[in-house]
Amino acid sequence: DGGITQSPKYLFRKEGQNVTLSCEQNLNHDAMYWYRQDPGQGLRLIYYSQIVNDFQKGDIAEGYSVSREKKESFPLTVTSAQKNPTAFYLCASSIRPGLAGGNNEQFFGPGTRLTVL
């Protein structure tokens, strides 16, 4: 079964703690993305990576960090510096832009709901 998996589905964090959200894909996609979704604000891009060992900040990168050591994996760490981390986090992947000759559709995982206690 090809697809994107995210774990855990629900995560609770105490204030001041760092937490890491997992994202794995077996679609052989080069590009991976992390979004945050809040009510009434749609999806906002946190970080994205177009190739292994390289990543770029999105629109709301402050308080987050990522790594891309393997093609299949793109974990997101929510640090204690993120002041309002309670949200629904979505990971996505796509083929590398420019290779498709058309639309490089982003496929989304099921999401992780993070709540700060």
Partner 1 sequence: QKEVEQDPGPLSVPEGAIVSLNCTYSNSAFQYFMWYRQYSRKGPELLMYTYSSGNKEDGRFTAQVDKSSKYISLFIRDSQPSDSATYLCASRETSGSRLTFGEGTQLTVNP
Residues that bind partner 1 (CB under 8 A): 4, 31, 40-45, 48, 50, 58, 90, 92, 94, 96-98, 102-111, 113
Three-state DSSP class for residue 23: strand
Q: Which one, 27 or 80, has the nearer CB to partner 1? A: 27
**Least distance in Å: CB of 90 to partner 1?**
6
Q: Are 110 and 8 in contact (CB under 8 A)?
A: no
Q: Which one, 43 or 72, has the nearer CB to partner 1? A: 43
Q: Which one, 17 or 26, has the nearer CB to partner 1? A: 26
Angle among Cα 79, 80, 84 to the nearest 5 degrees reads: 95
d(CA 68, CA 84): 24
**Least distance in Å: CB of 50 to partner 1?**
6
**Least distance in Å: CB of 67 to partner 1?**
19
